[in-house]
Structures are given as structure tokens and as C-alpha cells.
Amino acid sequence: MISQKAKYALRALVALAKEGDSLMIGEIAARKNIPRKFLEQILLEMKRHGIVHSRRGKLGGYSLLMPPEKITYGQVLRIIDGPIAPLPCLSRIAYRRCADCKTEETCEIRRVFARVAESAREVLDRTTIADSLDSSLLGDEAEDAGHEMARL
Amino acid sequence: MISQKAKYALRALVALAKEGDSLMIGEIAARKNIPRKFLEQILLEMKRHGIVHSRRGKLGGYSLLMPPEKITYGQVLRIIDGPIAPLPCLSRIAYRRCADCKTEETCEIRRVFARVAESAREVLDRTTIADSLDSSLLGDEAEDAGHEMARL
DNA sequence: GCTAATGTCTACCGATTAGATAGAGTTAAG
DNA sequence: CTTAACTCTATCTAATCGGTAGACATTAGC
């Protein structure tokens, strides 16, 4: 499961991309239903990683620093949630040897999770904020809406 | 990241499959370098879910209740770590609506993670303990040389 | 230069989970 | 009836998650 924080981050970036212009934290929080003070921390971190830009003072706000089609889901998730790999010994950004396994080559389960990691990266590193913009604009494409009707 | 507990569970099942016969907790713990008391809890849970069988008393031990090629990674992970889906609203075993998203159809990020979930399931629900047995044969671990497996 | 509105920073907090450990109880073989 | 195994329940400690709080810094406009 990805964290709530990561969901907020992605949604905030989508909001910024949709706007095109700059948006105040409070406005993003209101539109996307995100706790305001929590969102502050998230945007700060996005800023530290060069994803967004901010202006202080009256008329301040946030805007994207990169074009939406260059911001990948993988990039955001790695910043907020850490490695995508399901095992530390498969992570590219935070490789750690598994303390309890003798050699990686013969680890019975590593191969399996290597395939999981690869396919997750395939999706997450190729999908961008811009893609989410498109899909939310299309709204109801007959994609897999038949999976489950929302029961509200 | 999958939990340490799930790793232990998978490795224990591989050990049982390799053995073919029944094995004592202490023996599995020693071979796979797993804290013994922790492994007890894990195997108990595997037993409750009908994956393994146990015998008490002297000469007791654990053995697989299902053939290794019927025990999938997905099955074990769902027991130990819960849903494989990266969002609660994408889980099949523990569906929950995302509290903060208005409608699932228009959720910008749901579609993306649906693809991640699908590809993860593709791997995890098709890969079995028996597959890991095979792959551990490929690498030659300088383990106790007295072990010979039937070739399938 | 004052004020109001905005972002920045650091600290904290309650609940939950991860990763175990402890120990008393039950079962079965010899 | 002893010994060696599994079973169950109760902790324990540290970290993490999701969020609050509040002091501080910056800027626009009067």
C-alpha cells in the first residue's frame, strides 16, 4: 500500500498541473481535500527535490518547476514513500543487503520479487502527472468501469 | 516493501518443500536463520490457513498440507502482509473506499495503480513455492552436500 | 514602515505496526 | 512420567503514519 502522504502529493501535483498557473497551499488543500498543514510538509519536500517552485508572501503560492509530462509517479513515490522495490536488496535508490540471506544469487525469493519490482517500475516510471491529467479529463472512458460499480 | 515476516514465511515453506518430509520448527529456524519463536507464530498462522499441517509431541513437526506447486506467493503474502493492491480501493481481499476521493471513476491516480496491482498479481499469483525450488537449484549453494532433489 | 497574507521550519503527539521475546500450557513417544 | 515437541496469549521496544501546533520569514500593498 502506498501512503496517504504519497496520494496527497500526487493529487496536489495533478492540481498544479491542471491549473497551469500558481496555486496557494490553502487552495490546493481545499480542492483536493487534504489537511492543510500536512500538505505544507509535502510541498516543502517536493520543493527540496526540485519538482515545484514556491513564492512567499502575499500573492505567494506553488507552481510546477518541471513540465507535468516529466514528473513520473515513480519519482514522487520514491521521494515520499522510499524505494519501490519490495525487497531492500532490489532497491536502486536504497540498496541494502538482506541481513539474513547468505548470497543474493541463490536467494529463493529474490528472483520472484525482482520480476514484481521490474513490472512496477515499468508502469510507475513511464506514467507521468500529465497522463493523469488526460485520464481525468476523459472522465469516463469505457476502460474497466465494469470491475465494480461504486457503491455509495 | 514486504515484511520480514513474509520473507520468513516464504523461506520456511521453501524449506518444507525441499525436505518433502516433516521438519521441526527448530530445524527450519536453524536452516533458514529465522528467530525460532517468531517462526512459531508464522507457522501457526500458515496452519490456520490450511497451508501446512503439524504434529505435536516428540517426533512432531511441520509439513506442507498442499503440494508446493499449489502454494502461490500471492496467497502467502495476503495472509501475512495483507492486500497486494497499492490502494485500499483496489484490493480484492480487503476493499475499502478511499475516504478522501469523491468518486473512484474520476480518481486521477487509481487507474495508474490499478495497472501496478494487476502486474504484481500477474507475477505473484502465478509463481509458486515449487518455482522457487527450481530456481534455487540453478544456483549452486555450497550447502550441506547431502541434499539431492528429484529433477522435475 | 506597518499589516495582512502567504510560505518555512521544527517540534511534538497519539495510534498503530514491525519484529520480535517470554512463558505457561498441551500433546505424544518411549 | 519425563522429555521434546507444538500452542497460545501476553507482553515489549522502536519505528512509522497521519497529522497538529506554533513561532518565524518574506512579500504586496497601503
- Cα distance between residue A99 and residue B138, in whole Å: 22
- Going by their DSSP bridges, the two strands A52-55 and A61-64 should be labelled as antiparallel
Q: Which of residues 12-41 of B touch strand C (CB under 7 A)?
A: 35-38, 40-41
Residue of B33, B84, B116, B129 to mutate for A, most A C-beta atoms under 10 A: B116
Asked if residue B35 keeps its beta carbon closer than 7 A to nucleic acid strand D, the reply is no
- The C-alpha cell that represents B41 in the structure block: 507464530
Cα separation values, B130 from A111, B10, B20, B72, Å: 13, 11, 11, 9
Model pLDDT, residue B99: 79
CA at B74, C1' at C13: how many angstroms apart?
36
CA at A3, C1' at C16: how many angstroms apart?
14
DSSP string, A49-105: TTSEEEE-STT-EEEESS-GGG-BHHHHHHHHH---SSSGGG-SSS----TT-S-GG
Chain B contact set for A35 (CB, 8 A): none
- The C-alpha cell that represents A24 in the structure block: 496557494
CA at B93, C1' at C7: how many angstroms apart?
42
What nucleotides of chain D have any atom within 7 angstroms of a protein Cβ?
3-10, 17-22, 25-29
Contact B11 A111 (CB under 8 A): no
* Lowest mean per-residue pLDDT among A10-14, A23-27, A115-119, A138-142: A138-142
Nearest-CA residue relative to C1' of C4: A58
* pTM (two decimals): 0.88
- CB distance A90 to A82 below 8 Å: no
Q: One-letter amino acid identity for B74?
A: G
- Cα distance between residue B58 and residue B134, in whole Å: 32
Name the nt closest to B56 by C-alpha to C1'.
Answer: D6
Model pLDDT, residue B142: 35
Asked if residue A57 keeps its beta carbon closer than 7 A to nucleic acid strand C, the reply is yes
Chain A contact set for B119 (CB, 8 A): 116, 119-120, 122-123
- CB distance B38 to B8 below 8 Å: yes
Contact B14 A145 (CB under 8 A): no
- Cα distance between residue A45 and residue A42, in whole Å: 5
Neighbours of A67 (CB within 10 A): 11
Task: Give the H or E element holding residue B63.
Answer: strand B61-64
Residues composing chain A: 152
Q: One-letter amino acid identity for A89?
A: C
In this prediction, residue A150 has a pLDDT band, given cuts at 50, 70 and 90, of very low
Query: Pseudo-torsion of CA B67, B70, B75, B76, nearest 10°?
Result: 30
CA at A30, C1' at D20: how many angstroms apart?
17
pLDDT in tens, A61-112: 999 999 999 999 999 999 999 999 999 999 999 999 887 887 888 898 999 9
Nearest-CA residue relative to C1' of C8: A44
**Tens-level pLDDT at each residue, chain B (152 residues):** 999 999 999 999 999 999 999 999 999 999 999 999 999 999 999 999 999 999 999 999 999 999 999 999 999 999 999 999 999 999 999 999 887 887 888 898 999 999 999 999 999 999 999 999 975 554 433 343 333 333 22
Distance of CA A71 to the CA centre of its chain: 9
